[in-house]
Amino acid sequence: GQQVMQIPQYQHVQEGEDFTTYCNSSTTLSNIQWYKQRPGGHPVFLIQLVKSGEVKKQKRLTFQFGEAKKNSSLHITATQTTDVGTYFCAGPRNAGNMLTFGGGTRLMVKP
C-alpha cells in the first residue's frame, strides 16, 4: 500500500536558524497536504499543493511539491519559538477520501 515517509524524525535548531523537513511518497500523489501539531495540541491544516513543481509561501514557510509529485518539502526561514511542533505531510488515497500521514518531523527551537 501507499507509504509516506518523512525525514528527519527530530530536529533541534537554535532560534534564527533555518529548518527543512522532507516528505517522500511511494506512489505519485494528486496533491499533498501539510499539517502542524503544537505540543499537546491537534493537527492543524497548513496548506495544500496540487501542481507539479508548485511552490507556495506562507510568511517564513516555503512549501514545495516535486516535479514527479512523489516528494515535498517544508522550509522554515529564521525559526522562532512559535514554530515549535510536529509537522506532518499527508497524501490522499481512496479517491482522496482518506489521507496517509507521514510520521512527522518534530521541531524543537532553542531560544
Partner 1 sequence: NAGVTQTPKFRILKIGQSMTLQCTQDMNHNYMYWYRQDPGMGLKLIYYSVGAGITDKGEVPNGYNVSRSTTEDFPLRLELAAPSQTSVYFCASKGQGVNQPQHFGDGTRLSIL
Q: Which residues bind partner 1 (CB under 8 A)?
A: 30-31, 33, 41-45, 48, 50, 88, 92, 95-99, 101-104, 106
CB nearer to partner 1: give 42 or 59.
42
- 82 vs 95, which CB is nearer to partner 1? 95
57 CB burial (10 A radius; 0-12, 13-18, 19+): exposed
- Residue 80 · residue 110 · CB < 8 Å: no
**Least distance to partner 1, CB of residue 47, Å:** 9
Nearer to partner 1, 84 or 101 (CB): 101
Residue that is written with C-alpha cell 515549535 in the block: 84
Q: How far is the CB of 20 from partner 1 (least distance, A)?
A: 19
CA distance to 11, 61, 74, per residue, from 78 (Å): 14, 10, 13
State the nearest-atom distance from the C-beta of 84 to partner 1, in Å. 15
Partners of 6 in the β-ladder:
23
